[in-house]
Structure 1
Amino acid sequence: MRPGVPQPAAGPSVCPRHPDREAYVRCQRCGRPACPECQRPAAVGIQCVDCVREAARSTPSARTVFGGRATDGTPVVTYSIIAICAVVYLAQRASQSVTLDFAFAPFLGWSEPWRFVTAAFLHSPQTIFHILLNMFALWSLGQYLEPMLGRARFAALYLISGIGGQVGVTLLAGSPTVADVAAGGRGAWFGAVVGASGAIFGLFGALLVLNRHLGRSSTAMYATIAINAAFGFLYPGISWQAHLGGLVTGLACAGVIVAFRKQGVRRLVWAALLAVLAVVVGLAVAKYLTVPVDIRELTAG
C-alpha cells in the first residue's frame, strides 16, 4: 500500500446470523456485524440479538419479597383457576356424571386418588352461590397473594391446600367397619364433597402467615373467612372438615415459603413444599391403612 494513494472503500460486512444480508452496523458489545433484523437498541448504541439474550440469562431476575419470580402483577394463575372452575361447573350442570366421576369421598380416595385433586375444581351443581362465593374469595385472595408469592409458588399453595382439604375430610370421617357397612351405616366415610373451599382456606391460612411476617393486619379478611366457614354448615356436600384441612395445610405451606425466602436457601423451598405434600399424603395413607381392606378398596362402580 503506497502512502497518498486512495484505496477503495471497504465493502459492507455480512451478518453472521444471515450470511445473505449485508450489515452496516456492529454490535457495541461483541463487535460482530448485525443486519437490521438482528439489531436491538441498547442503552448505548446497538446490540445483536445474541448479546441481548446472553445478558438476559446472566442478569438476576427480579424476585418478590418471598423469593418468587416477579411478574407484571397480573394474577394469571388465579384467572386460570377461575376459568377452569367455571368450565367444569357448566359441565356439571350439563351432565351429572362429571360430579360423580370427579367428586371426592373418603371411600374412593384409596382406589381413585386423583379425586383428591379434581374435587378442588368442582362445586355444588344445585346452587350457583357455592361457586360464586368461592370464586369471589379466590379472586380477592389471588390478586393479593399471587403477585406477592410469584405464580409458581401460588399455584403450588393452591394445589397442596386443595389436597390437604380432602385429607382433612378423610382424617375426620371416622373409622368405618365391615359390620357398620353391612348394617347399612354409611356416615361421613361415604359422603361426597366438592368445592375449592379447602384450597381457598389454604390461601386464607397463607394470608395470615404472610401478613404477620410483613407486619400487616389481616382484620379485613376475618369476615370473609367466617362467611366461607359458615357456608360449609349451610349446604350439603360442602365440608367444614375440608376447610380445616386446607387451612392447616396452607399455614404449613406459607411457613416454609417464609422460612426459605432468602436468596441463599431460596431453591430449597420446593423441597420443603414437597415435604409438606409428603406429610399430607402420608397422613392420608396412614388413615387408609387403619380401614379394613374390603372398605378401603371400594370403587365408584
Structure 2
Amino acid sequence: MSAPTPPESAAGVPICYRHAGRETRIRCQRCERPICPECMRDASVGFQCPSCIKEGSKQTRSGRTAYGGRRSDNPMQTSIVLIGMNLAVWLAILATGWRSSDLINRLALAPRGTCESVSDPSSYYPGAPEDVCAAVGGGDGEWVPGVADGAYWQLITSAFTHVDVWHIGLNMLLLWILGPQLESSLGRARFLALYLLSALAGSAVVYWFAAETSATLGASGAGFGLMGALLVVAIKVRGDVRQILIWIGINVVITVVGSQFISWQGHLGGFLGGLAVAAILVYSPRTRRTQVQVLGLVGITFLLVALIVLRTAALV
C-alpha cells in the first residue's frame, strides 16, 4: 500500500511528512518522501527518513543491499579477482613475446579471420582466404580465426587482454576505484553481471562497427559500463552527478581525440550496456525484485546474442 502524498505549503513547497508545517526541499533517497533536517538520517548514500533507516537495518541484518543483492563481506574482492585475471593474461603475453605474442591474435576481438605471417606475427596477408592461407608466402601463412569464423570466445577474452602497461594500468585503476563502490551498492553477483554484460555490450558494438580486419582488446568497455552504472545509481539516490558527468565527459573527449587508436565502439557499447544493466538493477520494483532483475538481465543477454548472430550472418 503506497503512502499518501504529503501536503504542500501555500508557496508550493513540500511539507515534511513527519512534521506538519515544516517546509523542506529534501527528500528521502529511498522512499522519496519530503523530510525536514530533524528527520534526516545519514545513509550510505545521501539521507533517508527514520522509517527507511529502520527498514534498512532489517535488510542489513538479513545481509541484503538496498537493491536486493547479498551484501559483500569484502566489496574489494570481486575487483581484485578481475584485476588478477587481467594481470595474468598480460603476464602471459609478456612471457610469450609481448607484441609478437600469438596470444594477442587468439584473444583479441577480430570480426573476420586473417592470414597471419608465421615469421612476423605483426604482419598478415590481406585478402588471403583460409583455404589458401597455408600456402602463401612460401608456406609462411597461418590462419587466425575471427568471431565470424567461430571464435566467439574473443567477445569476452578481448576484455581481459592488454599489451601496453599504460593500457592495463589505466583500466585496472578505473576498476579499482569504481568496482568496490558498485559492489557495495549492488552485491557481488549483480556487480559481476554488470561488469561482464558491459564488456559483452562493448564487444557487440565493436563487432558491428569496427573494421572487419581490426583487432580490438582491453577492458575499457567494461570500465565505461561501470561509469554508466555509477551515474544511474547516483541519479537514483538523487546524488550530485556533476563530478561523474565531468569524469565521463573527459573520457569521451579522450576517446574522440584518440579515435585512431582508441576503440570508440567498445567505449560506447560498454557505456550503454552499463546504463541498461544498472537501470534494471536499481529501478526494479521491490515486489518480486529479484525475478524482475533476472528477467531483465536475461533479456539484455539475449539481445546482445541476437546482435552478434545477425552480424555473423552478414559477414559469413
- TM interval, short-chain normalised: 0.5 to 0.7
CA–CA separation in structure 2 for the residues paired with 1:275 and 1:149: 19
Aligned counterpart in structure 1 of residue 288 of structure 2, from 252, 264, 288: 264
Structure of higher CA gyration radius: 1
Equivalent position of 2:66 in the other structure: 65
Are the equivalent residues in 1 in contact too, given 2:68–2:289 (CA < 8 A)?
A: no
Per-residue deviation, 1:122: 0.8
CA–CA separation in structure 2 for the residues paired with 1:261 and 1:114: 34
Equivalent position of 1:99 in the other structure: 104
TM-score by length of 1: 0.67
CA–CA separation in structure 2 for the residues paired with 1:288 and 1:208: 33
Gaps of 5+ in 2: 1-59, 113-145
Q: Deviations over 1:117-150 (max 9, x none)?
A: 1111111x2x311111111111111121111100
Aligned counterpart in structure 2 of residue 113 of structure 1, from 152, 161, 181: 152
Equivalent position of 1:279 in the other structure: 303
Alignment of 1:166 with 2:190, yes or no, is no
Equivalent position of 2:120 in the other structure: none
Per-residue deviation, 1:105: 1.4
Per-residue deviation, 1:223: 4.2
CA–CA separation in structure 2 for the residues paired with 1:289 and 1:166: 16
Count of residue pairs brought into register by the alignment: 218
SS at match of 2:288: helix
Identity over aligned pairs, percent: 38
CA–CA separation in structure 2 for the residues paired with 1:145 and 1:231: 24
- Assess, with a 3 A threshold, how the Cα gap between structure 1 residues 161 and 79 changes in structure 2: closer, same or farther: same
Are the equivalent residues in 2 in contact too, given 1:103–1:119 (CA < 8 A)?
A: yes
Task: Return the letter of the residue paired with 1:275.
Answer: G
Equivalent position of 2:188 in the other structure: 151
Counterpart mapping for 1:6-155 below 5 A: 61-95=62-96, 96-107=101-112, 108-110=146-148, 111-123=150-162, 125=163, 127-155=164-192
Counterpart mapping for 1:197-236 below 5 A: 197-232=220-255, 233-234=257-258
Per-residue deviation, 1:221: 2.8
CA–CA separation in structure 2 for the residues paired with 1:69 and 1:75: 14
SS at match of 1:65: coil
Per-residue deviation, 1:258: 2.0
Per-residue deviation, 1:229: 3.7
CA–CA separation in structure 2 for the residues paired with 1:260 and 1:246: 21
Are the equivalent residues in 1 in contact too, given 2:72–2:183 (CA < 8 A)?
A: no
Q: Deviations over 1:219-267 (max 9, x none)?
A: 2233443444455453865311100011111111111112325243323
CA–CA separation in structure 1 for the residues paired with 2:169 and 2:250: 13
The list of structure 1 runs, each at least 4 consecutive aligned residues, that deviate by more than 3 angstroms after superposition, is 226-238
Are the equivalent residues in 1 in contact too, given 2:216–2:263 (CA < 8 A)?
A: yes
Are the equivalent residues in 1 in contact too, given 2:75–2:181 (CA < 8 A)?
A: no
* Structure of higher RCO (CA pairs closer than 8 Å, 6+ residues apart): 1
Are the equivalent residues in 2 in contact too, given 1:168–1:242 (CA < 8 A)?
A: yes
CA–CA separation in structure 1 for the residues paired with 2:289 and 2:75: 27
CA–CA separation in structure 1 for the residues paired with 2:195 and 2:252: 18
CA–CA separation in structure 1 for the residues paired with 2:249 and 2:93: 27
Are the equivalent residues in 2 in contact too, given 1:75–1:151 (CA < 8 A)?
A: no
- Assess, with a 3 A threshold, how the Cα gap between structure 1 residues 230 and 131 changes in structure 2: closer, same or farther: farther
RMSD, aligned CA: 2.1
CA–CA separation in structure 2 for the residues paired with 1:259 and 1:218: 17
